Structure 1
Amino acid sequence: MKTGLGVGPADAAGGPTRHYPVMLREVLAHLAPKRDGHYVDGTFGAGGYSRAILEAADCRLMAFDRDPTAIAAGAALVQAFDGRLSLVEDRFSRLDIRTEDAGFAPLDGVVLDIGVSSMQLDQAERGFSFRRDGPLDMRMGNAERSAEELVATLDEVHLAHVIWSLGEERQSRAIARAIVKARAEAPITRTAQLAEIVSRVVRSKPGEVHPATRTFQALRIAVNEELSELAQALAAAERVLKPGGRLVVVTFHSLEDRIVKNFLASRVKAPSASRHLPQAEGPAPSFRLVAKGAIEPGPDEVAENPRSRSAKLRAAERTDQPAHEDGDLMGLLPAPSPQRSGRRR
């Protein structure tokens, strides 16, 4: 999953912006890079975290991005660090496979910064922004279906469910109805076109986010399978982190943070015991929390970079216990789409 430059859902429209690695000081403090360590930046983007990690310690880093433009732009950084940085064009859910195949695992740390990047938002041709008209694309890599395809092919029930479950949009049913009606008249192929359709249904007050923000967020997440990628990446990190290795994750909206929070809760909880009952069976804790609860950016950072305002950081350290089975990962995700005859919640 390409992600990570600190862009929250309220900024789905985007606007030309300077790149800021969000909560960089806190990320480094909790990752604690050390000499000769092996680290993964699962969301390379513009390389802000990667550069800071390599400058903080004489370590080695493997950075992932599913966006080929980000990988190409990182060539100068690879050269600058003289062999200590390697870039991998792949989904970060495969970080365990790729690091093991390269002989790079086990790892001393993994950092993930979840969200669409500033560069992607600023490129109208990528279709992430509705403030600058462009093709309705939203693909972070090259292999996924585009947002245009989803808007054209999903039936009204499933389209409403996507907008509701992934965008947390209360008016999802009305939006889906309007989209289906509009596409019957003409194909929906442009970001401005979709934004206008949504804006006729959803009204916003001055100071609130654009009416189409949550719909665009939902489509982007669906197109790139972002939530399932995140759940799989957390489990992949668990498998390749060595005892004492750190996992640091920065999220930008509630769906992402809920997945990270619930994943860590399931990994730090010991099997229950009672004086009156035998020891409950279950996997031993595979993580211990480094930060209690979520850490949020300070007011100075929010003032300098408003896109950081929704960020939350969670961090944990790997224990010496085996990784848990990942069969429970689906429980971290929103409910699957209902059947046509089903009732939407």
Structure 2
Amino acid sequence: MSAARPGKLEGVRVVDLSLFLPGPMLTRMMAEEGATVIKVEPPGGDPARAMEPFENGVSFWFHALNRGKTCLELDLKTAAGRDALWRLIEDADVLLEGFRPGVMARLGFGWEAVAARNPRIVYCSITAFGQEGPLADHPAHDLGAWALSGYLSVNDAPDGTPVVPGVPASDMAAGLTGLAAILMALLARARTGRGDRIDLSMFDALFPWGVHIMGEAVVDGRPVRSATQRSLGGHAFYNVYRTLDGKHVVLCGREAKFARNLLEALGRPDLVPLAESPAGPAHDPLKSFLATTFATRSREEWVHWFHGRDIAFAPVLDLEEAVRQPHVRARGLIVETDGAHLLGSPFRFSDG
């Protein structure tokens, strides 16, 4: 049996002062690739430890985000706590923190002070809106970044009312963007010998995710409306449809070949020109036909009907159904270790 390969981040030491989602997710991914991550928690521990549900007495949320890390509590308002943190920082390659702007400096651990003690350190701060700018001191979690980015306005119900998103996209975007920035800084340090300061905000990280719809606002100077935007429900072949049993399916590909394949199979090739027209009111007759058609069979009947056809289609699963898919297991996205369920890594390397 061949020996397990060393992690790609073996030898990298990370001090993680972050809580909740963006920072812990970032450092979890680093820990999975061999980084030594020391999670510094406030007195009483990370609030995520108390978040339900629990498995084997441990919060699923906390375990999923913090496995593989060394956790310790430090009170940074005491001299002993600050001394202990300095000892960790002096040997660290990365320092990650998620306090509001100015807090680290008030504690004595601002970028300048840390860099003076450890010039090679990569210092990453994750906040809602960044270290500077008109919104820098504005308190917010994920939903606030959604709202001020404009994206919540197009995550709307049929009557136009914004709906709370099911996934905290700005948190996740910040974690992924922060990971990329830290790795870039570590690569640069290998050449220069110097660390770097990363000012990362959830708002900044989320903003580019709307590149597919941003042009209408930036170039045309008009708000984006989901009812007319091709990627947000304005196109008949990028939409959600209700089935006979009250469940839902989606058409998820606007290419002409998919529209032609479906409409010909349904005996309505005359509707193909509508599918190729710009999104918006012109698609209303096509949407009406598809809505009526999908309402004639159950979700599972449609799954069988679409099997083997070259059409971008998917059933809408609830989360319990989704996590039990064979594909999820095959890709290692849910794993079970020592009687506990964990979220697997999305990284798949050839020598993994």
- TM class, shorter-length: under 0.3
The alignment's TM-score, normalised by the length of structure 2, stands at: 0.27
Higher RCO (CA-CA < 8 Å; seq separation 6+): 1
Which of these two proteins has the greater Rg computed from alpha carbons? 2
